[in-house]
Amino acid sequence: MPLDTATVRRIARLARIGITDDEAGRLQGELNGILGWVEQLSEIDVEGVQPLSGVGQAALRMREDKVTDGNKVDAVLSNAPERAGPFFAVPKVVE
């Protein structure tokens, strides 16, 4: 089912990417092209096939529960667009 522009806007909102009306129209065409192309997967029978989320050969490891790093406030904040003391600063969120 092809995407309409309202759906494109909803996806962009979910992804937190601002788009203009022009862009919504152009993206609608491009996204529908890609989604139409991946439709070819519907011809494959995957009944009983387990989904594969990754191909790592390593099992997840446990490690000792202890602090190995820290106290690097200035390094952590060194690329902050805006900071207030030892904090990241953002526009007011709560009235």
Closest approach of Cβ 37 to other proteins, in Å?
5
Handedness of CA 37, 39, 44, 46 (dihedral sign): positive
Distance CA 28, CA 5 (A): 6
Distance CA 23, CA 5 (A): 10
Question: According to the binding rule CB under 8 A, does residue 38 interact with other proteins?
Answer: yes
Binding positions for other proteins, 67-86, rule CB under 8 A? 72, 75-76, 78-82
Which of 50, 64, 65, 66 touches other proteins (CB under 8 A)? 50
Helix (H) or strand (E) holding 13: helix 5-14
Q: Which residues bind other proteins (CB under 8 A)?
A: 3, 7-8, 11-19, 27, 30-31, 33-35, 37-38, 40-42, 44, 46, 49-58, 60-61, 63, 72, 75-76, 78-82, 88, 90-93
